[in-house]
Amino acid sequence: MNLALFDLDNTLLAGDSDFEWAQFLIGQGALDGEIHAAQNEKFYEQYKAGTLDIYEFLDFQLKPLARHSRAQLDAWHQEFMARNIRPIMTDQARAKVQEHLQRGDLVLLVTATNAFVTGPIAREFGIHHLIATIPEQRDGQFTGGVRGTPSFQDGKITRVEDWLEAQGLNWGSFADSWFYSDSRNDLPLLEKVSCPVAVDPDPILKAEAERRGWPVISLR
C-alpha cells in the first residue's frame, strides 16, 4: 500500500480557500470589508513569504465562526462552494486525486486551512481523510479558538504521524509516500515523504525542487 498526501490551497485548488472564505464573508456583509480585506491580504502575503504567525492568523480566521450560528455558516458554505470553490477545482487536480484512489493508495488531504472550510472541499474531491487545523467547538458552536496542533509547517508532520498512529500505521507501513504541495511552508513534510512533488510551486519551493531533483508539475 502507498500513501498520497495532498496540500489544498494553490495545489489542488487554483486559488486559496482561506483567502476566498474571508472574501466571501465580506461579500455577505458578515465582516467589515475595508478592515478585513486589508487584514486578509496581509496574512496571505505573509503566508506566501513564509513569515506567517499561525496563531495570530487563526485568531483572525476563526473568530468570525463564533459570531454566527452553525446553521447560518453551513448555508453560507454551500453558496461558497458553488461560487468560489468549484470554479477553481481543476480537471487536472481531480484527475491526479483519482489516479491515486484508483491505484488503491491511502489518500489524505493535509491543509493548514480549518476543517470547517475544507471538509466539504475534501469530499468534493472524493478524499475521505482530512488533516486540517481544527476549530474549537462547544455545544455544537464554534468558540473562535483552535484545538490541538495547527496543521502548518512542522505541525503537518505531527498531525500526519498522529493520524497514522491512530490507524495502527507509520511511515514504514508504505512502500512509497507522496506529498503534493505548492508552498515553501510545506518543505518539512516534503522532505519526510519518499516522493515529494512540487505543484505550481512558489519561487522558493521551485528552486529547492530543482536543486534536489524533485518533480515539478502543474495542475492548472
The CA radius of gyration of the chain, in Å to the nearest whole number, is 17
Chain centroid to Cα 219, Å, comes to: 16
Of 9, 16, 186, 202, the catalytic one is: 9
DSSP, residue by residue, the chain:
--EEEE-IIIIIBSS-HHHHHHHHHHHTTSS-HHHHHHHHHHHHHHHHHT---HHHHHHHHHHHHHTS-HHHHHHHHHHHIIIIIGGGB-HHHHHHHHHHHHHT-EEEEEEEEEHHHHHHHHHHHT--EEEEEEEEEETTEEEEEEES--SSTHHHHHHHHHHHHHTT--GGG-S-EEEEE--GGGHHHHHHSSEEEEES--HHHHHHHHHHT--EE---
Report CA-CA distances (Å) from 58 to 112, 140, 151, 181.
Answer: 10, 19, 11, 21
Give backbone dihedrals phi and psi of 176, rounded to 5 degrees, phi first. -140, 150
CB 10 within 8 A of CB 201: no
State how far the Cα of 179 lies from the Cα of 172, in Å rounded to an integer. 15
pLDDT of residue 107: 98
Examine the pLDDT at 37 and tell me if it is beyond 80. no
Examine the pLDDT at 34 and tell me if it is beyond 80. no
pLDDT of residue 186: 97
Round the average pLDDT of the chain to a whole number and report it.
Answer: 94
Q: What are the boundaries of each domain within the chain?
A: 3-217
Superfamily of segment(s) 3-217: HAD superfamily/HAD-like (3.40.50.1000)
pLDDT tens by residue, 74-104: 999 999 999 999 999 999 999 999 999 999 9
pLDDT tens by residue, 134-167: 999 998 899 999 999 999 999 999 999 999 999 9
pLDDT of residue 94: 98
pLDDT of residue 108: 98
9 is catalytic: yes
Burial class (CB in 10 A: 0-12, 13-18, 19+), 14: middle
pTM attached to this predicted model = 0.94
Examine the pLDDT at 3 and tell me if it is beyond 90. yes
pLDDT of residue 54: 85
State how far the Cα of 200 lies from the Cα of 207, in Å rounded to an integer. 12
Examine the pLDDT at 201 and tell me if it is beyond 80. yes
